[in-house]
Amino acid sequence: MNETLWTALAAIALIWSACVPPEERLPTEVRIDFSDPLQQHVYELQNQQHTDSLYRYLRHIDPTIRYLAAQAFASIKDTAAIDSLTNLLHDPLTQVRAIAAYAIGQTGNPRATPLLIAAFDRFDTTGIHALSNAAILEAVGKTGSVRELELIATITTYRPTDTLLLLGQAWAIYRFALRKIIHRKGTECMLRLLSDTQVPHEVRWVAANYLYRASAQLNFTNDDLQTLITPFVENKDPRIRMALAPAIGQRADNEMAWMALSGRWLQEPDWRVRCNIIRALAHFDYTQVRPLVEQALHDSSHHVALCAAQYLLQHGKAWHGGRYLRLAADTSLHWRIQLTLLQAANRHISPAIEELHNYANFLLRTRFKKSVNPYEQAACLIALAEFPWNYRFIWREAHAHQTPIVRTQCMAALRQIATIEAPRRYFGLSFRRVRSDLSSYFAQAIRSADVGMAAEAAQAIMQADMNFKILWADSIAVIEEGLSKLQLPRDLEAYHHLQDLKAWLQNQPPPLHTPPSAAHPINWSLVSTGKHRPYITLGTNKGDITLELLPEWAPATVATFRQLMREGYYNGKTFHRVVPNFVIQGGCPRGDGYGALDFTLRSELPWIHYDRAGYVGIASIGNHTESAQFFITHSPAPHLDGNYTIFARVVAGQEVVDAIEQGDRIERVLAQ
């Protein structure tokens, strides 16, 4: 729920309380206070997944308890609760109606659609239930069909002052798009909302994000393109500009699109928008784009420079393979930019030019052996994998490396080699030998009990076009041995991949992965609510990041984070994953993204939108599989809504977040 919705929630509560005579007045607003034993109890039921016991609290006299019980089901996502939650869609308090609608939408079950529509208050002329009506619209976007999409998209009675209803309409169409349900009427509605300057800004931002996320499925007319270009050029909010750039890029056949993107590039101050402009240029002619991209290699933001190098990797041409080698020789470039350019060279140099290939591989092998940075070594391995004949060097030099980061990327590189297109044609008469070698390497990785290596190997076997089933038909014992060496719930991700591999070899459907039954207990002494929220400082090698913890959104996660902080767990951990204009991610005990601790957390998913930069979420591999890894957003990421716990937000030091590179470290975590 964004700040607009929180403000509306408070105002509606005051209106409702004023309408009830004092002598009949019962609790009429939601007040989260986790010092209240009953509120703690409801949350404990959520944490333990005791859904049978939660049902009774959906009927409690205190609206806060009803609210928390419904919110619990939003995190649990239990379709069996739909009917019970439907009763709350007619609750006296609109906040309770809203959270019930959200919880129903979280199930994604089409059966809920008519129940949601029936609960929409069409006669709410005073706006008392605008919040819950908005929640119902958004929930239908998660459960409905194209018929409901068309109905919602053709609503034209909402005025610019109907902020909540317009938000509900826009979020609904956006949610449909995330489910690949598109209708021209929905696109027309979003274009209209985007172009109407009288419409609230947050609504226009949601519309822009729809046009971004759905753009690959849309066929923009020339008039549509002009509607996109005007706010892209004129709007002062970089969130809107960064969303519209990829949408404009879909019309690479139109000169107006190129003029808008290249013209904006020359004056764009926000690095995040510049990243998305480069990504949007993927649809344009390479010779037209290349000068701009090569200039961007020296951008003041390393994120933009990396996007430029990645463009050359993904869209480069064989006749420029040697040029990528020369660009990589520029020592003023960051090591990751240089290695991405070397990877581009290794990918695009024609196989017929043996000398250039040999030189590129010589540079990469030498760099791998000389580097003391495990992330740089890992990048060398991935670059070497662009020339698949490097597979023996990669295994020999990296599978027994002392650093998990390098061992995992060794297998990731071999996985990349195993999944090349047409491997029989590439390896020719050596195909059977190469396949046998790779199969042996994958078997050793699975037996190793190294979670990263085992996970990558299992995925490689299933994804490769090498018919590994022939060699693995009698190798179930290898997988069983690998499974027996993993520790649960710590190694849950690798465990799931090995289970999938076992089922695949036995020609069975993938197993249904259920989250661990035991939940990490909540230390309520570390959960504080009220006027004085807890703040912490992440001290990194790039500077300090101040976080405001949000226990009212995620008490269990906040308590666990504070506990780990007090124990010094995060001190010295790296940011192992950095995706330009998306997130930085850290807290992995291995440093490769496959690490976890010996417990899992439950997902905590209230009605919150990732509508700004600086939200701090918990990484997971599915509902209720969270542990110690966290991420911080560079920009809004509403496609994460309802799936990833938010437990904090950046209040100072976002510029430090934006400066973090892969391998940077958390030096200390301090409470304020």
Give the model confidence (pLDDT) of 174-198 as tens digits. Answer: 999 999 999 999 999 999 999 999 9
Span 364-373, pLDDT tens digits: 999 999 999 9
Q: What is the pLDDT of residues 229-285, one digit of tens each?
A: 999 999 999 999 999 999 999 999 999 999 999 999 999 999 999 999 999 999 999
* For residue 2, pLDDT beyond 70: no
Classify domain 3-249 at the CATH topology level.
Leucine-rich Repeat Variant (1.25.10)
For the four alpha carbons of 653, 657, 660 and 665, in that order, the dihedral sign comes to: positive
Residue 614's region, left for phi above 0, alpha for psi from -120 to 50, else beta, is: left
Sequence letter at residue 523 = N
Q: Are 3-249 and 524-671 equal in CATH topology?
A: no
Q: What is the mean pLDDT of residues 348-366?
A: 92
Average pLDDT over residues 341-361: 93
CB 378 within 8 A of CB 391: no
Region 299-318: mean pLDDT is: 97
Amino acid 31: pLDDT: 93
Lowest mean pLDDT among 65-79, 152-166, 291-305, 530-544: 530-544
Band (pLDDT 50/70/90 cuts) for residue 531 is low
Of the chain, the percentage scoring pLDDT greater than 70 comes to 96
Q: What values do phi and psi take at 652, rounded to 5?
A: -160, 140
Exposed, middle or buried, 223 (CB in 10 Å: 0-12/13-18/19+)?
Answer: exposed
Model pLDDT, residue 446: 98
| Domain range summary for the chain, segments of one domain joined by + | 3-249, 285-366, 371-513, 524-671
- State the pLDDT at residue 439: 98
Class of domain 524-671: mainly beta
Question: What 8-state DSSP symbol labels residue 625?
Answer: -
Which pLDDT band, with edges at 50, 70 and 90, does 20 fall under?
very low
Compute CA distances 386 → 48, 216, 330, 582, 627, whole Å.
47, 28, 21, 26, 34
User: Residues 144-163: what's their mean pLDDT?
Assistant: 97
Q: What is the pLDDT of residues 114-129, one digit of tens each?
A: 999 999 999 998 999 9
pLDDT tens readout for residues 532-589: 779 999 999 999 999 999 999 999 999 999 999 999 999 999 999 999 999 999 999 9
pLDDT at 529: 60
Whether the predicted pLDDT of 59 surpasses 70: yes
The CA distance from 138 to 122, in Å, is 16
Question: pLDDT of 467-491, one tens digit each?
Answer: 999 999 899 999 999 999 999 999 9
Q: Is the dihedral of CA 128, 132, 135, 141 positive or negative?
A: negative
Give the pLDDT band (50/70/90) at residue 11: very low
Q: In terms of DSSP H, where are the helices of 399-514? A: 404-418, 423-427, 431-447, 451-463, 469-472, 476-485, 492-505
Q: State the pLDDT at residue 21.
A: 47
The rounded distance, in Å, linking the Cα atoms of 129 and 121 is: 7
DSSP 191: H
Q: Which amino acid is at 579?
A: V
Q: Rounded to 5 degrees, what angle do the CA atoms 531, 533, 538 make?
A: 160
pLDDT score recorded for residue 10: 44
